[in-house]
Structure 1
């Protein structure tokens, strides 16, 4: 994967929903990454789950996140299906599996409200907790 910016973080479903709900912690983190010309990856499965969780009531905020210069929507590569199956077994959720796989591949953290979802990946050292 080639991006015009250095990847700094992956947003999981909870980071996306927190952004939509006006999280200062998520907004400040995204702003700092943007200021450093970095990138935040948004796995498609996390976006799908966030869209389901929030409904499409806050579509405007969601569109702002997706249009942000530092965010990149990532679709799973079909060739990664076996690794995704393994991550799904570790995390218990398909959206978390996609976020964890991206984070491991890019050697970055997943921003989340639920670090316990990633406890079995990298000995639980994969997350950046959202603290609002």
Structure 2
């Protein structure tokens, strides 16, 4: 029976980085899909669903604000590599990782305006 590599070995660091990148990508996909789905749910009149997704994303916004607008997983990934490319900590194309907050922040802000308008006009 072989023992699993420890985080101090090159193989252990590589495995740890893969785990962090995988977790970061899954979490990012959840929030990115929520941001895309908020205006769709709003336009379909599913305001409760849109509100719940908004609350989850607002939770992520608070986490980012508390961490200097960086995901805490970025610091974890940095322990396992010297690479500092825009996408070293997540499996996204480099251009998307570089502009992620600008793109999804703008979409989220627009979705909140749409949702706010829908809530006001629906009487909810």
Shared fold per TM-score greater than 0.5: no
What is the TM-score with the length of structure 1 in the denominator? 0.25
Bigger-Rg structure (1/2) = 2
Instruction: Please identify which structure carries the higher helix content.
Output: 2
What is the TM-score with the length of structure 2 in the denominator? 0.26
Instruction: Please identify which structure carries the higher strand content.
Output: 1
